[in-house]
A and B are shown apart, each in its own frame.
Chain A
Amino acid sequence: MKKWMSLVAVITAFSIVAAACGDDDDVAQADCDAGQTDGDLAFYNWSEYMDPELIAAFQEEAGVTVTEDFYPSNEEMFGRVEAGGSGYDMIIPSDYMVSILISEKMIQPVSEAAVPNKANVAERFANPPYDPGAVYTAAYQWGTTGIGVDTGVTGEDVPHTWGLLFDEAVADQYGLSGRISILDDPRETMGAALKYLGYSLNSTSKSELAEAEKVVADAVDRVAAFDSDQYSELIVLGETVVGHGYSGNFLWDFEEGDSTYDYFVPDEGGTIWVDNMAVLTDAPHPCTAFAFMNFLLDAENGAQLTNFNWYASPNAAAEAFIDQEVLDNPIIYPTDMSKLEFIEDTGDFEIEYTDALSRARS
């Protein structure tokens, strides 16, 4: 389990914590030229998010080795890199986490000279609110968070509500007890409960969050697992019926199942997110990281990534190379954006979300 290895890393971090220095006032920026590399790449990414063939192609092209490790939530990634000296070069933080990383001076500005392909990023992702002017990041992929269902078990008429995760009556009606998985992710999980209650998933009200905590706590007995890696596999294996997770992963695994499946963002509303490529301030090999960023922002490579992971591409130039069935799929490229909300950095309130999930689950 990845988390277990992270724990080892944390313990190791204890022994070097004395050496780890505090915040520098200025964020160092690496000066790299296009295509320049300065060593092997240590890439820290979400699981099942990168086409291994793209990594192989980059290794071939740049003559470096890429090591990829995985994390299940933004918070866990943050916890791992915040002490410094993590050894990672590139990470894929989501929107709100980008603003946290910028304010903590943990990621460095993109070296424009080294990433000419940044021009390929579509207009609407070129100036995101979490990173004005996209100075520190380049968009990687975007998608939604919602619910995947084995409709072979529940029937086609299953209601599109977060109640599938949280409502006892709904669980009883569709035989979901013990067959539900929920993301192991403070903002997503508490956000889903907030949406279920009709609140914003960026609520900074303690009482609203306390209500959401109770909703999650009441659901624990009906939940099979809190899981951010295998929610879609568990459905296909028949171990769970309902899963909370990300659009692309569901589509990917549902292809392999024998039953009929559906994915939707519940009517109460859900999360839209943009994941971004960023290079850590203390990256040992920043130039290789920027070269990799540039490689992934290439039109054909960007298209290959979307054709692989079935998340929408923010790369405008890539569109011409993306499979038509992917472009036409309303789950990958949603047509109705009105009920989708971005997770935003809530500043000092972030910690309330992590505490709430921790309490609700134990």
Chain B
Amino acid sequence: MDVVVEPGLEHQAERARSRQGLLMGLPAMIYLFVFFVIPLGFVVMYSFATRTRTGRTELAGWNLEAYERLGETVVRAVAFRSLWIAAVTTILSLALAYPLAYFISTRRPATRNMLLVGVMIPFWSNFLIRTYAWRVLLDSDGIFTRIMSGAGLGDGRILFTNKAVIIGLVYGYLPFMVLPLYAAIERIDWSLVEGARDLYASGWSAFRRVVWPLSKPGVIAGSILVFVPSFGAYVTPAILGGNKKGLMGSYIVDQFMDARNGPLGSSLSVLVLVVMLMGTLVYFRQGGRSL
């Protein structure tokens, strides 16, 4: 009855399949190697290089000076400010996106798709242009500032403050929170919620004990997708924040463009990379595999 397959043949078939997979993945791998791995290698190399007195980066006299400078108060201040802004952005995005994702995923399929397209519409125009548009909305004559002042909130200033940066970041990265949340919530088997309600769970506790845990992979994925780019954000702080009190992204750009300190810019980039990598590793260790 059982078809006896020679183990060798099966093994060969498997090998062929994996070869095929490799061939198909090759273009992308080459692309990533040339345009991601090699440049990244240069960044690491630069971080150990010497900065000449004219600001040139010399690939010689390898040293750790750029890494020693990571301990300076300036760097620490910039890093903590960035962490704080990224954390606030992530929490606000989650608070806004969760109800929205919940709403979308409980609509009929046709409505659902339309709403999802709606979430993605902002991507149709350039991020830079949208950020400049926020400048008009947030300036002293802008509608937001007027409403805030009218309500007796704030000092009539939003543009060029951290508030503006956070508003801009939440706006920019909200879709990255909504989409994974939607994917997670949409997958939930609602009969489990019905079961909970049958067992006299209140609406709130059914949410807390059934829906929330099941949507957690979406929460974590969305949070990473928002937190990581917020931490390194450059465009938003420059345009809406007035390019001062640097955040990590603009501080790194400044090292390359203004201060012409290639090694420090590179060591900062490596630092960000390592922190993010560790965060992601912890996440996968903590059962993120369920994604």
Q: How many chain A residues touch the partner (CB < 8 A)?
A: 42
On whether the beta carbons of A14 and B39 are closer than 8 Å, the reply is yes
How near does chain A come to B75, taking the closest CB pair, in angstroms? 8
- Indicate whether A15 sits within 8 Å of B38 (C-beta atoms), given known contacts A3-B253, A7-B234, A224-B160: yes
From A186, which residue of chain B is reached at the shortest CB distance? Answer: B258
From B239, which residue of chain A is reached at the shortest CB distance? Answer: A1
The answer, yes or no, to whether B77 is at the interface (CB within 8 Å) is: yes
Contact with B along A170-189 (1 / 0, CB 8 A): 00000000100100101000
Which of B244, B246, B251 is the one whose CB lies under 8 Å from A225? B244
Give complex CA distance A359, B35 in Å: 32
Give complex CA distance A361, B241 in Å: 13
On whether the beta carbons of A184 and B54 are closer than 8 Å, the reply is no
The answer, yes or no, to whether B226 is at the interface (CB within 8 Å) is: no
On whether the beta carbons of B242 and A354 are closer than 8 Å, the reply is no
The answer, yes or no, to whether A350 is at the interface (CB within 8 Å) is: yes
On whether the beta carbons of A6 and B244 are closer than 8 Å, the reply is no
From B255, which residue of chain A is reached at the shortest CB distance? Answer: A358
How near does chain B come to A74, taking the closest CB pair, in angstroms? 11
Give complex CA distance A326, B140 in Å: 33
Q: How many chain B residues touch the partner (CB < 8 A)?
A: 41
Give complex CA distance A304, B53 in Å: 41
The answer, yes or no, to whether A11 is at the interface (CB within 8 Å) is: yes
From B159, which residue of chain A is reached at the shortest CB distance? Answer: A239
* CB contacts between A and B, total, < 8 Å: 114
On whether the beta carbons of B43 and A14 are closer than 8 Å, the reply is yes
Give complex CA distance A152, B47 in Å: 50
Q: At the interface with chain B, which of A75-83, A111-119, A134-142?
A: A75-83
How near does chain B come to A251, taking the closest CB pair, in angstroms? 23
On whether the beta carbons of A3 and B257 are closer than 8 Å, the reply is yes
How near does chain B come to A179, taking the closest CB pair, in angstroms? 9
Contact with A along B161-199 (1 / 0, CB 8 A): 100000000000000000000000000000000000000
On whether the beta carbons of A358 and B42 are closer than 8 Å, the reply is no
On whether the beta carbons of A351 and B139 are closer than 8 Å, the reply is no
How near does chain A come to B35, taking the closest CB pair, in angstroms? 7
Contact with B along A327-362 (1 / 0, CB 8 A): 000000000000000000000101100110111011
On whether the beta carbons of B256 and A10 are closer than 8 Å, the reply is yes
Give complex CA distance A362, B76 in Å: 10
On whether the beta carbons of B256 and A227 are closer than 8 Å, the reply is no
Kindly list chain A residues whose C-beta atoms are within 8 Å of the C-beta of B146: none
How near does chain B come to A361, taking the closest CB pair, in angstroms? 6
Give complex CA distance A178, B241 in Å: 12
The answer, yes or no, to whether B78 is at the interface (CB within 8 Å) is: yes
How near does chain B come to A53, taking the closest CB pair, in angstroms? 26
The answer, yes or no, to whether B99 is at the interface (CB within 8 Å) is: no
The answer, yes or no, to whether A226 is at the interface (CB within 8 Å) is: yes
Which of B141, B242, B253 is the one whose CB lies under 8 Å from A7? B253
From A15, which residue of chain B is reached at the shortest CB distance? Answer: B39
On whether the beta carbons of B243 and A226 are closer than 8 Å, the reply is yes
On whether the beta carbons of A225 and B42 are closer than 8 Å, the reply is no
From B241, which residue of chain A is reached at the shortest CB distance? Answer: A225
- Indicate whether A11 sits within 8 Å of B54 (C-beta atoms), given known contacts A178-B157, A223-B244, A361-B245: no
- Given known contacts A76-B258, A220-B244, A238-B141, what 10 new A-B pairs fall within 8 Å (CB)? A14-B46, A79-B55, A178-B157, A181-B242, A186-B258, A224-B160, A237-B141, A350-B55, A357-B259, A361-B246
Interface residues of B (CB under 8 A from A): 34-35, 38-39, 42-43, 46, 53-56, 74, 77-78, 128, 139-141, 157, 159-161, 234-235, 238-239, 242-246, 251, 253-261
Interface residues of A (CB under 8 A from B): 1, 3-4, 6-7, 10-11, 14-15, 17, 73, 75-76, 78-80, 82, 100, 104, 178, 181, 184, 186, 220, 223-227, 237-239, 348, 350-351, 354-355, 357-359, 361-362
